[in-house]
Chain A
Amino acid sequence: MHEMSIAVAMVEQATEAPAAKGHEKVTAVRLRLGELAGVVADSLRFCFSLACAGTPLDGASLLIDFVPGRARCEPCGAEWATGMPPQLCCPQCEGGRTELVAGRELQITGLRHADGEPPARTAHPASVQAEES
């Protein structure tokens, strides 16, 4: 289960990022996760909650933007959804000179910090929750 290692790396990056300086607490981490990244989202969520415990990310939400796999054939220009397991040969000309347009993403794209100001001015938890699924 390498999701645990990935979760630990996420916590490290979120706390060591230059942008994190001066903030005590991270309340949400946003991740772009490609269909072909080789990561199981449910497993990652579980590991993330464990990895956050006792860190400035304790209790932080994990917001995942899924990116479907897409490929393009260089010679004939066809573009298709790769699916899973991925079809990386061109369905139109059966060629193998394929370019992966999207699907391998595994990136932190944003952090939300609580700045310790009055709770009335914090983020709207409802809309954050709505992003989690």
Chain B
Amino acid sequence: MCRVVDLHQAVLVKNDERAGALRTELAARGTTVVNLLSSPGSGKTALLEAELALAASRGVPVAALTADLATEHDAERLARAGVPVKQVLTDGLCHMEADMLRAQLDGWLPDGTRLLFVENVGNLVCPASYDLGESLRVVLASVTEGEDKPLKYPTAFGLAHLVVVTKDDIAEAAGFDEDAFRANVRQVNPGVEVAVTSARRGTGVGLVLERALAVAAGGAVHRPVMARNGSDGVGDSVAGGGTGVEPGGVDDAMAGGVPVRGRS
């Protein structure tokens, strides 16, 4: 005799719960998390350095935690802004999870930090599935990565609250077709804002900081289509949704002739 038990639990529910708890805890401390996702070499560290420097110059208390430092030099660059910067080692894991972030904060994150930027592992596949307790998820692509990047990584771009184009100063040399890129972003995430930036020229840097501060001030955040039926995903949690447990049931899920519910 065998038996089948209906669980209907999202497999990522544990991470989602921890992320939700972390979001609540940090909100009580006045801190908003900005999760930065991109491929390696997309200019994420350069943009982050520019954001930290701009925030520091405006007296906005910020901090950065990075899981994606290619070199020691990157750490030095980030530290130049004079704000708290910490590196987290993921032990080869391809993404960060909420409890990994949580474990870094005590004794490090200063009280009153307004924005905590998290530079996720350089990868557009795995980190997309993990809510870190962020309130703003930013997905970056440089002009050298091609206009079809959003279609190659639809989960990452589809769940973004803000899409950022980097290295706009070399867009012409790279032959970047911004209209085509925007159309592809729109296909997987209609309504999401695309900010075009150049860390070298300093363009667009202020816009990204303003968007982050607006969210920190309680402003509405874009709600991606892909986050709207979520059994996982950041959108649900941001919206205060449930644990991913869907109604409906064992009858539907168990259709197909497999012997189920053998015991009454």
Contact = CB atoms under 8 A, between A and B. Distances in A.
Interface string A3-35: 001100110111001011000000110111010
Interface residues of A, number: 61
A42 interface: no
B94 A1 contact: yes
B228 to A, nearest CB: 5
A100 B228 contact: yes
B197 interface: no
Interface residues of B, number: 55
Given A13-B13, A98-B225, A109 B7 contact: yes
A9 B154 contact: no
Contacts of A111: 4-5, 7
* SS of A interface (majority): mixed
Interface string A94-128: 01111111111111111111110100011110011
B125 interface: yes
Interface of A: 1-2, 5-6, 9-10, 12-14, 17, 19-20, 27-28, 30-32, 34, 36-39, 63, 65, 71, 84-89, 95-115, 117, 121-124, 127-128, 130-131
6 contacts: A6-B129, A19-B5, A85-B151, A86-B154, A107-B11, A108-B9
| A-B complex: 10 closest residue pairs judged by Cβ atoms | A96-B190, A2-B126, A109-B253, A19-B5, A38-B155, A85-B151, A85-B154, A100-B229, A123-B2, A88-B225
